[in-house]
Amino acid sequence: MTQKEIKEKIRNAVTEKFACEAEDATIRQIYESVISMVVQELSKRSSSASKEIAHQECKKVYYMSMEFLIGRSLKNNLYNLGIEEKVRAVLQDLNVDLEQLYEMEPDAGLGNGGLGRLAACYLDSLTACNYPATGFSIRYEFGIFRQVIIDGWQMEFPDNWLEMGGGWLIPRPDEAQEIHFDGQVEELWSSEGLKTIHKNYYKVLAVPYDLMISGYDSKIVNKLRLWGAKSLENFDMSLFSRGEYLKSCEGDAKAEAISRVLYPADDHEEGKVLRLRQQYFFVSASLQNILQDHLKKYGTLDNLAEKVVVHINDTHPALCVPELMRLLMDDHGYSWDAAWKITCATLAYTNHTVMSEALEKWSIDLFSRHLPRIYTIVQEINRRFCENVYNNHPEKRGAIDKMAVIGEGMVRMANLCVACCFSVNGVSALHSEILKEDLFRDYHDIFPGKLTNVTNGIVHRRWLCESNPLLSDLITELIGDGFVTNGAELEKLLKFKNDASVLNRLAEIKHENKLRLSRYIEHSCGIKVNPRSIFDVQAKRLHEYKRQLLCALHIYDLYRRIKNEGLRIHPHTFIFGAKASAGYVMAKEIIRFICALGDMINNDPAVSDQLKIVFLADYKVSLAEILMPAAEVSEQISLAGKEASGTGNMKFMINGALTVGTLDGANVEIHEQVGGENMFLFGLTTPEVNRWKADGYHPDQLYRNDPHLRDLLDSILKNGIGGKNFESIVRYLIGPDPYMVLADFNAYKNAHTKINDVYGDPLKWNEMSLVNIAKAGIFASDRAVREYAENIWHLSTVQ
């Protein structure tokens, strides 16, 4: 598109949408018109891409995920289409600043954390790499809540993203699907054999809304299809088909509640009916859609697995297994055996967590009541699976109870996936080893080769090129722009490792980004930070296993040593960003602890030139885009064996931050890339954690035998923090703490002493920073999606 064409299109969009001239339009009207111009352009490309994909009979991947943490789209789309500067110029003529439009866009926060953001990075990379892919999820009216901190306590407010973000969605009511819940099943013998009838069900309509996914410099446009729930009880289809959405949708609230709000939990499964409904709703709608498209093109479902792979992102869409069976048998007349063969060959699964409380289970009672037909299928899958293990793997007879899909009154979704899917993978080398040796060990023995690894990745164009343009420009000047499409080329930077002028420019860029973040901090929480201080960031969901508490406890220790022992350190600013699940009391208590610490330290003139703490409220994708480029220290300090991979660690690394971390998740691979001399490793390893756990972890002994630690904890017991009581936290640390904060405390403290020392040698620090950037290419999601495409999905690119 030329600048002239863009200008025409924006002008036309303004007139068509708002019946006025661009010169007279409000900023909001311009904003909506620019989005509409981009959507039109992408739709055009999407339709010709679909034709080409159909013509080439390409195999496609359907990525099923309850979460897609998309963030903002405008900048990303303009960047990917290569029209950002042209649009900026057109808008300038209208006296509109493009940056201002960027700020008007809300994040599409359709996810909680890492798993959702990963799905968004993968769609972006799949498109850039020209793989035909569609994402399927739910059109939540409310995404992840807006976090406000009131007197240290997290409060949650609704996130009505559609009001300003709905312009990206294209409704496709013509492709709506019907979903059936509740009721009873009846088995009937007829001349064709046994037929199962689902009766007295409750109907809900699933209406698709498409969000176009542009890939950088790509031949194709993919889409994310989000299903919205509409009531069918009081629903007038004829009004709807005529486009009279509002009138037609005056249905009852029960159905429409299904797509109302994202579950704001990423740590424990609650077993709530609404969540089960959400899962079945989007799984069933998506699979019906996939089968219809396939039949239309090929006239048969016999070759489904040759042309389609359905990827199950964590167990949340695990109902794909019985639902695909149901559709093949009940709607398309396949026998059990034939349907099972197709189902197993079509479905692949990624596990994202080994935490037992996050592994989904549904009580038989609830499951069978709301999904009666699906339950009968799961029962039969379980019966056949157990029979197979009993007959063909006698050595595993003792493990059948553990491996079964149904057990202890529950339907176990992870077991369902592993029993059926042709591929199961973990998300980092360490995590995948734990799956093979621990969580799924018995399955690994009977299905050798099924379990594999694909280490996570990030779309480096968003996380480096777009969010850190200064650094991206410097890299381009030094090694050309090949790294934009081939992350591995970042390694060419290594030749500047000892080039003082390059290292100084790196430092200047970091400083600029720190100034940008400082302005944000002052604006959002009124704290003035010293931009020459070390910017040390821990940004991720709040969870005990991620150990924000370890960092906070260390800060309190630093504070006391500065005050009482005259310790001098390089000025240090600790920055936190973290949402806690609404009902997770301990996580909220940890936020309260960090905030109280901040209030006390930031207002104490005795330390204010050396220490500051900032808790940034409402951590989200768009905030991460300001944080990552400004960070110098990246806190990745989970208890070894608990963080499946982490992806924030990769985003910090590619922006030149140095990791202080345990040997957990992808930190292990970061360490492999940069070596111990370019990061700050500390703490127990996974085998050490396991040994310690087996022998019994007794933090009260650590407390009793370490006078410094005892003194530190006692002072919290005695004085609280800034007058606020945190006895519960101390009792937790010396009592049940399953994440062993005290066991790693001294090692962590030593790692920080080293950070402080190395920071005193800027050339050294910047050299380490450059090595981190240079070695981050392997964590590009382009690499990750290629591994999926080549080793698991067997896809080829569109030619």
Annotated catalytic, 540? yes
Q: Is 541 a catalytic residue?
A: yes
* DSSP state letter for 113: S
Which residue, 541 or 749, has its beta carbon nearer to ligand 26W?
Answer: 541
Question: Between residues 113 and 208, which has the closer beta carbon with respect to ligand 26W?
Answer: 113
Residue 541: CB minimum distance to ligand 26W, A: 7
If the CB atoms of residues 107 and 643 are measured against ligand 26W, the closer one turns out to be: 643
List CB contacts of 86: < 8 A, sequence separation 6 or more.
Answer: 1, 2, 3, 6
CA 399 to CA 290: how far, in whole Å? 36
Q: Is residue 74 a contact point for ligand 26W (CB under 6 A)? A: no
SS3 40: helix
Least distance between ligand 26W and beta carbon 271 (Å): 10
Distance CA 286, CA 449 (A): 29
647 is catalytic: yes
Site for ligand 26W in 411-430 (CB under 6 A): 427
Distance CA 359, CA 376 (A): 22
| Cβ nearer to ligand 26W, comparing 208 with 317 | 317
Interacting residues of 319 by C-beta distance below 8 A, sequence separation 6+: 279, 280, 283, 284, 371, 374
Give the Cβ contact number of residue 443 at 10 Å. 22
Any contact of residue 643 with ligand 26W (CB under 6 A)? yes
Tokens of residue 186, six digits: 């009846």
By CB under 6 A, is residue 647 in contact with ligand 26W?
Answer: yes
- State how beta strands 184-190 and 193-199 pair: antiparallel
Alpha-carbon span 589 to 153, nearest angstrom = 8
Contact mark string toward ligand 26W, 351..380, x via CB under 6 A: -xx----x----------------------
Shortest distance (Å) from residue 705 CB to ligand 26W: 33
Draw the binding track, 648-677, toward ligand 26W (x: CB under 6 A; -: no contact).
-----------------x------------
Cβ 659 vs Cβ 667: under 8 Å: yes
Task: Give the active site residue among 11, 86, 180, 352.
Answer: 352
* Closest CB 71 distance from ligand 26W, rounded Å: 15
- In terms of Cα–Cα distance, which of 354, 404, 314, 361 is closest to 63? 314
Which of these, 313, 219, 297, 70, lies nearest to 796 by C-alpha position?
Answer: 219
645 is a site residue for ligand 26W (CB under 6 A) = yes
Residue 152 touching ligand 26W (CB under 6 A): no
Query: Would you call 208 helix, strand, or coil by DSSP?
Result: strand
Dist. CA 120–CA 73, nearest whole Å = 11
Measured CA to CA, the distance from residue 224 to residue 135 in angstroms comes to 4
Given 105, 124, 266, 442, the residue binding ligand 26W (CB under 6 A): 266
Task: Give residues 201-240 in contact with ligand 26W (rule: CB under 6 A).
Answer: none
The tokens describing 477, both together, are 């000047």
352 is catalytic: yes
CB 114, min distance to ligand 26W, A: 3
Residue 353: CB minimum distance to ligand 26W, A: 4
| Shortest Cβ 540–ligand 26W spacing (Å) | 9
Of these residues, 277, 373, 541, 775, which one is catalytic? 541
Is-catalytic flag, 383?
A: no
Q: How far apart are CA 51 and CA 46, in angstroms?
A: 9
Please select the residue that binds ligand 26W; options are 118, 229, 327, 611, rule is CB under 6 A: 118
Task: Determine, following the binding rule CB under 6 A, whether residue 456 of this chain makes contact with ligand 26W.
Answer: yes
Cα separations in angstroms, 639 against 226, 633, 636, 685, 740: 36, 18, 9, 8, 7
In angstroms, the CA 56 to CA 21 distance is 43
For residue 60, indicate whether it is catalytic.
Answer: no
The span from the CA of 297 to the CA of 290, in Å, is: 11
DSSP states of 537-563 as a string?
EEES---GGGTHHHHHHHHHHHHHHHH
Nearest by Cα to 644 from 267, 124, 137, 264: 267
Beta bridge partners of 154: 149
Tell me if 139 sits within 8 A of 70, measured CB to CB: no
Q: How many residues bind ligand 26W (CB under 6 A)?
A: 21
User: Which residue's entry shows tokens 């010709």?
Assistant: 48
* Closer by beta carbon to ligand 26W, 32 or else 267: 267
Nearest residue to ligand 26W by CB is 114
For residues 485-524, which are near ligand 26W according to CB under 6 A? none
Given 647, 659, 662, 686, which residue is catalytic?
647
Please report the sign of the dihedral spanned by the C-alpha atoms of residue 247, residue 251, residue 253, residue 256: negative
Instruction: Kindly tell me which residue out of 30, 115, 312, 417 binds ligand 26W, with binding defined by CB under 6 A.
Output: 115
Q: Is 409 exposed, middle or buried (0-12, 13-18, 19+ CB in 10 A)?
A: exposed
Binding segment for ligand 26W (CB under 6 A), chosen from 110-118, 278-286, 619-627, 737-745, is 110-118
CB of 275 to ligand 26W, least distance (A): 8
644 binds ligand 26W (CB under 6 A): yes
Which lies closer to ligand 26W via its Cβ, residue 167 or residue 665? 665
Of the candidates 114, 135, 152, 531, which one interacts with ligand 26W according to CB under 6 A? 114
CA end-to-end distance (rounded Å), the chain: 22
Rounded least distance, CB 197 to ligand 26W, Å: 33
Q: Which stretch binds ligand 26W (CB under 6 A): 174-182, 200-208, 608-616, 638-646?
A: 638-646
Q: Which two tokens stand for residue 643?
A: 């963080």
Span of 89-97, 106-114, 553-561, 725-733 interacting with ligand 26W by CB under 6 A:
106-114
**Looking at beta carbons only, is 368 or 781 nearer to ligand 26W?**
781
For residue 98, the number of C-alpha atoms closer than 13 Å in the C-beta half-sphere is 18
CB of 744 within 8 A of CB of 662? Answer: yes
Residue 430 or 594 having the CB closest to ligand 26W = 430
Closer to ligand 26W by Cβ: residue 361 or 786? 361
Closest CA to 121 of 663, 665, 487: 487
- Is 32 or 314 the residue whose CB approaches ligand 26W more closely? 314
Residues 280-319 that bind ligand 26W (CB under 6 A): 314
Residue 113 binds to ligand 26W (criterion: CB under 6 A): yes
Q: What residue spans of 56-83 are helical by DSSP H?
A: 74-81
Shortest distance, position 583 Cβ to ligand 26W, whole Å = 11
Binder to ligand 26W among 265, 424, 484, 658 (CB under 6 A)? 265
Residues that bind ligand 26W (CB under 6 A): 112-115, 118, 263, 265-266, 269, 314, 352-353, 358, 427, 456, 643-647, 665
- Which are the catalytic amino acids? 352, 540-541, 546, 647, 651
